[in-house]
Amino acid sequence: MEKKVLLAENQPEFGAGFELALTMSPADVVFIVRDSGIKGRGGAGFPTGIKWNLAGAASSDVKYVICNADEGEPGTFKDRVLLEKYSERLIEGMAIGGYAIGSSHGIIYLRAEYSYLIPTIEDARKNMIARGLLGKNIRGKGYDFDVEIRTGSGAYICGEETALIESLEGKSGFPRNKPPFPVNSGYLNKPTIVNNVETFCAVPHIILGGPEWYADLGIGDCSGTKLFSISGDVEKPGVYELPMGAPLKDLIDLAGAGDIQAVQVGGASGRTIPATETHRSLSFDDLPPGGSVIVFDSTVNMLEVLENFMEFFVHESCGQCVPCREGTLQLMYAVDDLISGDICSEESLSDYFRLAEAMRITSKCGLGQTAVNCFVDIINNFVDFTDECVSGKCCCERGDR
């Protein structure tokens, strides 16, 4: 069942949440966000209130509020829809974040692929300025805040928050070592919060509705609602809003799909499951609720899907650490060999599975750690070695087995 808050037809006026926040102390705003239980909507699921509390406690005259609008995970387009329709809500959420942590400076890091949205976001900013909700001494409270838009330039890794910060600083997008964490030392080494577009968009609703109301929107222990982008073999691809913790099946029913072979949840770096597992829940405890869901019907060759994703990771690895740079390449070669028939038994893949495990453990950032998910899942769930050879032109005949 859909449960619309962020995408609701009738929404509170833009700015109402910010105005209410301005009547509270910054610490109270942080507590409301913390008590709502909201976890970051960009994938990693870190509790937003805890992040804001740390940045608020960091002592510095200058702090930064950064919106991660780099949305690069294959299959994800929810942030694009929010930017198209709710840029004011986003800026409002950033202004609340700035008030909460004591920052006057917001930056929206927009992926270059979304540059055509700059005029829309600029218009939203101008509307906020015209209404006195951005600028100096907002509502006479002695609080200043403004946002600027900066663009990436076609690098998926810049969605990783420390790579994003490097990029903003005019450098290549190589993820940093953590600690220090951005809340202490982020953009220009100042305390910085980086949050996803959807996270910021949810904040004004949380302020207006209260933390209990928001927490109760989710199912079970999950808090709030979540946007999902669904595409692939479905009748009505698009963005749907569901309670966090909803079964994947509910989302698929909304989008309409008859013949399902596989569903990928959480993008290329997420999990790929067979149709028999669609009862599982979209939540931080089960299927990654990052935002992307792609449905594959029975006509799709899942090895070709895997090949497409491994090429993606090879292309997008920043190359900084060996397990990821070399590992993604080796896994891609293994997939090519599976497709060509040069590998056709599970035993010949065991080294690759060990490599995948090593990548998961030793890669420096989330890209290398999660690039192995599609490899492991697709091979385990969708390649049948007991039957005939996957390719039909098998190496067994050559006696390699």
Partner 1 sequence: MLRNPEEIVADGIKEFGSEHESIMQLLTKVNEELSWIPTIAIEAIAKATGISVAEVYSVVSFYSFFSIEPRGRNIVRLCSTISCTMTGQGKILEALIDEFGIEPFETTDDGRLTIETTPCIGLCDQAPAMLVNGEPHVKLTPEKACDIVHGLE
Q: Which does 42 bind (CB under 5 to 8 A by kind): ligand FMN, partner 1, ligand SF4, none?
A: ligand FMN
Residues that bind ligand SF4 (CB under 6 A): 157, 175, 317-321, 324-325, 363-365, 367-368
List the interface residues with ligand FMN, window 351-370 (CB under 6 A).
365-367
Stretch that binds partner 1, among 30-38, 202-210, 233-241, 378-386 (CB under 8 A): 233-241
Spatial separation of the C-alpha atoms in residues 4 and 340, rounded to whole Å: 47
List the interface residues with partner 1, window 144-163 (CB under 8 A).
150-156
- Residues whose CB falls within 8 Å of the CB of residue 31, separated by 6 or more in sequence, listed in order: 49
Which phi and psi (to 5°) does residue 343 adopt? -120, 130
166 in contact with ligand FMN (CB under 6 A): no
Number of residues that bind partner 1 (CB under 8 A): 49
- Residues whose CB falls within 8 Å of the CB of residue 320, separated by 6 or more in sequence, listed in order: 174, 175, 364
Nearest distance from C-beta of residue 291 to ligand FMN, angstroms: 9
Nearest distance from C-beta of residue 103 to ligand FMN, angstroms: 16
Spatial separation of the C-alpha atoms in residues 62 and 24, rounded to whole Å: 21
Which among 318, 320, 317, 339 has a CA at the least distance from the CA of 328?
317
Spatial separation of the C-alpha atoms in residues 243 and 56, rounded to whole Å: 29
Beta pairing partners, 146: 105
19 in contact with partner 1 (CB under 8 A): no
80 in contact with partner 1 (CB under 8 A): yes
Nearer to partner 1, 19 or 241 (CB): 241
Angle between helices 26-36 and 197-209 in degrees, nearest 10: 100
End-to-end Cα spacing for the chain: 50
Nearest distance from C-beta of residue 238 to partner 1, angstroms: 5
Q: Which does 250 bind (CB under 5 to 8 A by kind): ligand SF4, ligand FMN, partner 1, none?
A: none
54 in contact with ligand FMN (CB under 6 A): no
Spatial separation of the C-alpha atoms in residues 248 and 267, rounded to whole Å: 14
Which residues form the interface with partner 1 (CB under 8 A)?
71-77, 79-80, 111-116, 150-156, 167-173, 188, 229-233, 237-239, 292, 294, 296, 300, 305, 308-309, 312, 315-316, 318
